[in-house]
Chain A
Amino acid sequence: MVKQKSAKLTIGVLDVIVLTSVVALVGFIAYRVNFVLIYKWDWSVIPTYLFRWDEKTASLVPNLLIKGMIATIRVAIWAMLVSSILGVILGIARTSDRLLPRLVSWAYVEFIRNIPPVPFLFLFYFFISSQIMPILGIDEFVYSASPQKLAVAEFMFGPANLMTNFLSGMISLSMMSAAYIAEIVRSGIQVIPKGQREAGQTIGLSPFAIMRYIILPQAIQRVVPPLAGQFITLIKDSSLIALISVQELSFLAMEIAISEQRFFEVWIFTGFMYFTVCYSCAKAFGWLERRMGAHRY
Chain B
Amino acid sequence: MSDGTGKQAMIQLRGVNKMFGDFQALYDINLDVYQGERVVICGPSGSGKSTLIRCINRLEEHETGEIIVDGIRLDDDTRKIAEIRAEIGMVFQLFNLFPHLSVLDNCTLGPMKARGISRTEAQKLAMRYLEKVRIPEQAGKYPSQLSGGQQQRVAIARSLCMSPKIMLFDEPTSALDPEMIKEVLDVMIELAETGMTMICVTHEMGFAKTVADKMIFMDEGRIVEEATPAEFFTNPKNDRTKLFLSQILLH
Interface assignment of A5: CB less than 8 Å from any CB of chain B: no
Interface assignment of A195: CB less than 8 Å from any CB of chain B: yes
CA distance A275 to B116 in the complex (A): 49
Size of the A side of the interface (Cβ < 8 Å), in residues, is 20
Can you give 29 A-B contacts (C-beta < 8 A)?
Answer: A193-B96, A195-B92, A196-B96, A198-B59, A198-B90, A198-B92, A199-B92, A199-B98, A199-B155, A201-B59, A201-B85, A202-B59, A203-B109, A203-B110, A203-B161, A204-B162, A205-B110, A205-B113, A209-B114, A213-B113, A214-B98, A214-B109, A217-B100, A221-B100, A295-B142, A296-B100, A296-B142, A297-B99, A297-B144
User: Which residues on B sit within 8 Å (CB–CB) of A221?
Assistant: 100
Interface assignment of B173: CB less than 8 Å from any CB of chain A: no
User: Which residues on A sit within 8 Å (CB–CB) of B109?
Assistant: 203, 205, 213-214
User: Which residues on A sit within 8 Å (CB–CB) of B144?
Assistant: 296-297
User: Which residues on A sit within 8 Å (CB–CB) of B57?
Assistant: 201-202
Residues of A within 8 A of B (CB): 193, 195-196, 198-199, 201-206, 209, 213-214, 217-218, 221, 295-297
Interface assignment of B16: CB less than 8 Å from any CB of chain A: no
Cβ–Cβ contact A199 & B97, under 8 A: yes
CA distance A221 to B144 in the complex (A): 16
Cβ–Cβ contact A206 & B98, under 8 A: no
Cβ–Cβ contact A203 & B92, under 8 A: no
Minimum CB distance partner of A220 in chain B: B100
Contact with A along B133-169 (1 / 0, CB 8 A): 0000000001011000000000100110110000000
Cβ–Cβ contact B113 & A202, under 8 A: no
Contact with A along B67-90 (1 / 0, CB 8 A): 000000000000000110110111
Cβ–Cβ contact B99 & A218, under 8 A: yes
CB neighbors of A among B93-124 (8 A): 94, 96-100, 109-110, 113-115
Dominant SS at the A interface? helix
Cβ–Cβ contact B99 & A198, under 8 A: no
User: Which residues on A sit within 8 Å (CB–CB) of B99?
Assistant: 218, 296-297
User: Which residues on B sit within 8 Å (CB–CB) of A199?
Assistant: 90, 92, 96-98, 155, 158
User: Which residues on B sit within 8 Å (CB–CB) of A214?
Assistant: 98, 109
CB distance from A195 to the nearest CB of B (A): 4
Chain B: number of interface residues, binned into ranges: 20 to 34
A-B contacts besides A199-B98, A203-B89, A295-B142, 13 pairs, CB < 8 Å: A193-B96, A196-B96, A198-B92, A198-B96, A199-B90, A199-B158, A201-B59, A203-B114, A203-B158, A203-B159, A204-B114, A295-B145, A296-B100
Cβ–Cβ contact A206 & B100, under 8 A: no
CA distance A62 to B99 in the complex (A): 48
CA distance A296 to B144 in the complex (A): 6
Cβ–Cβ contact B89 & A202, under 8 A: yes
CB distance from B198 to the nearest CB of A (A): 15
CA distance A214 to B98 in the complex (A): 7
User: Which residues on A sit within 8 Å (CB–CB) of B161?
Assistant: 203
CA distance A100 to B205 in the complex (A): 49
User: Which residues on B sit within 8 Å (CB–CB) of A217?
Assistant: 100
User: Which residues on B sit within 8 Å (CB–CB) of A201?
Assistant: 57, 59, 85
B86, B100, B155: the one contacting A204 at CB < 8 Å is: B86
Cβ–Cβ contact B82 & A206, under 8 A: yes
